[in-house]
Amino acid sequence: MIKRNTKQTVEAIRWKNERLEILDQRLLPSRFEYLTYNSAIEVAEGIRSMVVRGAPIIGCASAYGVALEALRLRTTTTSEFASAMDKAFKVLAKSRPTAINLFWALKRMHAIWQSATGLTSSEIADTLLYAAHQMLAEDYRVNRSMGTFGAKLISSNAKIFTYCNAGALATAGHGTALGIIRSAVEIGKKVSVTVSETRPFLQGARLTVWEMLQEKIPVTLITDNMTGYLMNRGEIDAVIVGTDRVAANGDVANKIGTYMVAVLAKRHNIPFYVACPLSSIDLTTPNGAAIPIEERNADEIASFHGYQWTTKEVNICNPAFDVTPVDLVTALITEKGIVKRPNSDSILRLFNS
Ligand code: MRU
């Protein structure tokens, strides 16, 4: 098994006893429970229902979904194997539409499968499982690298604002946006973090706060509508967020509300940084308008954990992501370095360097 965490942060997913275990993020911070997954269909449902969420780890989980399916089929004939695997890829691809990492991971696993010519079903299954382990380990390394680059942008005593959860829970460990904060702390910078609760799923209030408290990084929780007030009072020095997909021109899709934060940051001359692994960049999508935005169930807006606080009759709109236009982005922080004021040329160069 490939080792991924040198300094251990929470493991959102883990391979144990030949099965995938996924930490149920819907229950955090009150309960810490792993669920066990045996097939692609089960993993797809885990992604859809937000047991696991956050772009990079969705990608890794889907890779394990592919591997689990192959392991289930390891005694089948080549043609049975091929038709069942095709279905597995399709069901995983339908689990969530916005995070490009899901499709990036599936494409990679598909290519590995297709290039495994002449192998038995059992050998292909072993190859795919190894590839999933590698993907998880690689995501961790990418986060550490983004952390090293991004930490240089953070001044000591910086008051950092973050949105949603782009932490260890959303990745193989360390995190993207939170990884940068962690790396800044590791090199001795004293930072404090303001976390916006992130309605309606409360990834900020439930997950990011929990992660920061684990490591005793000073953290303050606010509701989403307090952001402008704090920025106007000089309480925020920098914004760092993650992303679900960056289009070829640099437009950034991230959790609904991110756009609002970016506009406010611009108004107050606060740098707006996006932690962005290359696996989150989609060169085939020209701009933000072409990014599919997931619309989620109305219940997420009307209630939480079963308690309903509005009438059943009301019309509800629940887009899960929005797009921040590239002109509001101060820099993309990638594993290959920092891209200030990104544009299509500088983004393309990342893939050629
Ligand atoms: O709906 P979610 O919780 O999957 O949305 C997550 C986000 O928007 C994160 O900011 C993004 O995936 C980056 S995670 C490193």
CATH of 13-143, one of 3.10.129.10, 1.10.10.10, 3.30.565.10, 1.20.120.420: 1.20.120.420
Note the pLDDT of residue 105. 98
345 is catalytic: no
Taken in order 34, 35, 38, 39, the sign of the CA dihedral is negative
* Per-residue model confidence (pLDDT) at position 1: 43
Residue 149: count of CB within 10 angstroms of its CB: 18
Ligand 1 pocket test: pick from 140, 203, 318 the residue with the most ligand atoms within 8 Å of its Cβ: 203
Nearest in space to 21 (alpha carbons), one of 134, 113, 136: 136
CB of residue 96 inside a 6 A radius of ligand 1: no
Rounded to whole angstroms, how far apart are CA atoms 251 and 238? Answer: 19
pTM given for the model:
0.96
Mutation test of ligand 1: which of 165, 258, 291 has the most ligand atoms closer than 8 Å to its C-beta?
165
In this structure, which topology does domain 145-352 adopt according to CATH?
Answer: Rossmann fold (3.40.50)
Question: In sequence order, what E strands does the chain have?
Answer: 13-16, 19-23, 34-37, 159-162, 192-196, 219-222, 238-241, 245-247, 252-255, 272-275, 281-282, 303-304, 307-308, 321-324, 331-334, 337-340
Q: How far is the CA of 120 from the centre of ligand 1 (A)?
A: 37
Residue nearest to atom 15 of ligand 1 (CA): 166
Distance 274 CA to ligand 1 centre (A): 12
Nearest CA to ligand 1 atom 10: 242
Q: Show pLDDT as tens, one digit a residue, over the chain (353 residues).
A: 445 555 568 999 999 999 999 999 999 999 999 999 999 999 999 999 999 999 999 999 999 999 999 999 999 999 999 999 999 999 999 999 999 999 999 999 999 999 998 899 999 999 999 999 999 999 999 999 999 999 999 999 999 999 999 999 999 999 999 999 999 999 999 999 999 999 999 999 999 999 999 999 999 999 999 999 999 999 999 999 999 999 999 999 999 999 999 999 999 999 999 999 999 999 999 999 999 999 999 999 999 888 999 998 999 999 999 999 999 999 999 999 999 999 999 999 999 98
Domain boundaries, the chain: 13-143, 145-352
One-letter amino acid of 195: V
- Out of 24, 86, 224, 244, the active site residue is 244
Question: Ligand 1 pocket test: which of 28, 49, 53 has the largest number of ligand atoms within 8 Å of its C-beta?
Answer: 53
CA distance 182 to 174: 7
- Ligand 1 atom having least distance to the Cα of 171: 15
**13-143 and 145-352: same fold?**
no
Task: Evaluate: CB of 47 within 6 angstroms of ligand 1.
Answer: no
Residue 139: the pLDDT is 98
